[in-house]
Every structure is written in C-alpha cells, then in structure tokens.
Amino acid sequence: MSKKKQHVVPHESGWTVKRAGNSRASFVHGTQREAITAARESVIRQGSEMLIHGENGRIRERNTYGKDPYPPKG
C-alpha cells in the first residue's frame, strides 16, 4: 500500500483530495469539510499524512496517522 501524502486543496468545483505527486484529483467534493473527511479515511487506511490547504493554497494544517516514528517521551 502506498504511503503518499494526501493534500486537500481548492478546486474549481469545490475542494479536492490529491495524492502527492499526482496532477489529477483523486476526489472532488463540494465543501472542504467533505474533502477532509474523505482524505482522513484514506490516510488512516494507509497510515500516512494529510495536508490541508487554505483557499490561498498554503498549508494550514497537517495530520499524521499510523505509527508515530517520534512518539512523545514521558
């Protein structure tokens, strides 16, 4: 299974989920919330990372799912 990051980015038809390195959208959704939900389900299965972009295209949030390579100490 691929461990590529999923990006939630603005799209002319709403919001889309794109896998890192792909030029085409994996999914297109009407709202950012719907796109985030779809991306989260995908990255949880893959154990990878989700990057959420704002309307300006800049990353505003990132979430990693799966085994943490740097767990907190304590």
Domain segments of the chain as ranges: 5-60
Q: Render pLDDT for 10-45 as a digit per residue (tens, 0 to 9).
A: 999 999 999 998 888 877 999 999 999 999 999 999
C-alpha 34/C-alpha 25 separation (Å) is 14
pTM: 0.82
Distance from C-alpha of 47 to C-alpha of 66, rounded to nearest angstrom: 4
Q: How confident is the model at residue 1 (pLDDT cuts 50, 70, 90)?
A: very low
Looking at the chain, the whole-number percentage of residues with pLDDT higher than 90 is: 65
What 3-state class would DSSP assign to 9?
strand
